[in-house]
Amino acid sequence: IKKMSLPIQRDAQPTEAETAVWNQVSAVLEEAHGILAELQSYNGAGQEIREAIQNPGDLALQEKAWNAVCPLVAKLKRFYEFSLRLENALRSLLEALTSPPYAPMQHLEREQALAKQFAEILHFTLSFDELKMTNPAIQNDFSYYRRTISRNRLNNQQLEAENEVNNEMANRMSLFYAEATPMLKTLSNATTKFVSENKTLPIEDTTDCLSTMACVCRVMLETPEYRCRFTNTDTMLFCMRVMVGVIILYDHVHPVGAFAKTSKIDMKGCIKVLKEQPSNSVEGLLNALRYTTRHLNDDSTSKQIRALLQ
């Protein structure tokens, strides 16, 4: 592990062999910053929607609410479409980081730039979902949009915005935003699909890659000599989000999950590290472990681990 503190170095440069995948993922990660900024400043059309609902006969208020909601729905569509690009990027990284003949540990040491990108994707994913979880306006705006469209369909009115988000797209978006943590769900599904489609690849190659990254993050967070290198709280948060992200992916992909005694992830150690941080910075991460893992409530999960997450 001493050597393995390297892959989460945030300035690792790609080797020639990594360049094609690195470039593809880089383009996606560049867009990720803008997506987070947009989500952070997403205020919703709550006021306009309330007024329109309270005064159903006032056409001016109906129009005002509709005009407020449409650009927001266009944003939500952009976020959803970005999740599909993120899924493809994750797939490419999984292929690169699990391909024979190297073991996961060797991959992470050889392809540090890709390991770093994998970490960046998880960091983005958990940041996005934390913001989404605390913003009820997103689902309210989208529900209002859908109700208005179906009402107008009954009255045979075609709305311009419908060309932007047709019924099929609206259904897919609806499923996406109904999730507590939509981006994480997208990545979990993508990882599970990757494993089931690559029958010749031992499942351990994928899960070992994930457990190794979880271990690296835990060691970096709990070892004073690494901790003192973290120049700011952002680096701490980065490390914690990546750790939680890989635990959740591991739990979705591994047949018995991350919480069983046979798991290669030291769950007690990981939860302890999180609990030592100020609660306002880790509550969202602890909730992600409580509500988006698959195996926490299995009989094989020790009472001690469950109690830690109470």
Distance CA 183, CA 86 (A): 9
pLDDT digits (tens, 9 = 90+) for 59-109: 999 999 999 999 999 999 999 999 999 999 999 998 888 887 777 677 877
Select the highest-mean-pLDDT range: 63-72, 189-198, 209-218, 299-308: 63-72
Alpha carbon separation from 24 to 10, 86, 241 (Å, rounded): 18, 10, 23
DSSP 17: G
The residue ranges of every structural domain in the chain are 1-179, 202-309
Q: Quick check: 203 pLDDT over 90? A: no
Instruction: Name 157's Cβ contacts closer than 8 Å, sequence gap at least 6.
Output: none
Q: What is the spatial distance between Cα 210 and Cα 204, in angstroms, rounded to a whole number?
A: 9
Number of residues assigned to the chain:
310
Nearest C-alpha neighbor of 264 from the set 277, 280, 246, 278: 246
By percentage, how much of the chain surpasses pLDDT 70? 91
Supply the pTM of this predicted model: 0.85
Mean pLDDT for 267-271 is 93
| pLDDT of residue 127 exceeding 80 | yes
- Asked if residue 3 has pLDDT above 50, the reply is no
CA distance readout (Å), 266 to 165, 211, 305: 44, 9, 10
Tell me the pLDDT tens digit for each residue of 133-142.
999 999 999 9
Taking CA 116 as the corner, what is the angle to CA 99 and CA 244, rounded to the nearest 5 degrees? Answer: 95
List pLDDT tens digits, range 31-49: 999 999 999 999 999 999 9
Helix/strand/coil percentages in the chain, nearest 5: 75, 0, 25
Distance CA 89, CA 93 (A): 6
pLDDT at 47: 97
First to last CA, the chain: 30
Residue 4: its pLDDT value, please?
Answer: 44
pLDDT at 120 over 80: yes
- Taking all residues of the chain, what is their mean pLDDT, rounded to a whole number? 86
Average pLDDT over residues 116-120: 88
pLDDT at res. 11? 62
Checking if the pLDDT of 5 tops 60, the result is no
Residue 282 in this model has a pLDDT that exceeds 80: yes
Measured distance CA(122)–CA(181) in Å, rounded? 12
Residue 157: per-residue pLDDT:
57
pLDDT band at 9 (very low <50, low <70, confident <90, very high): low
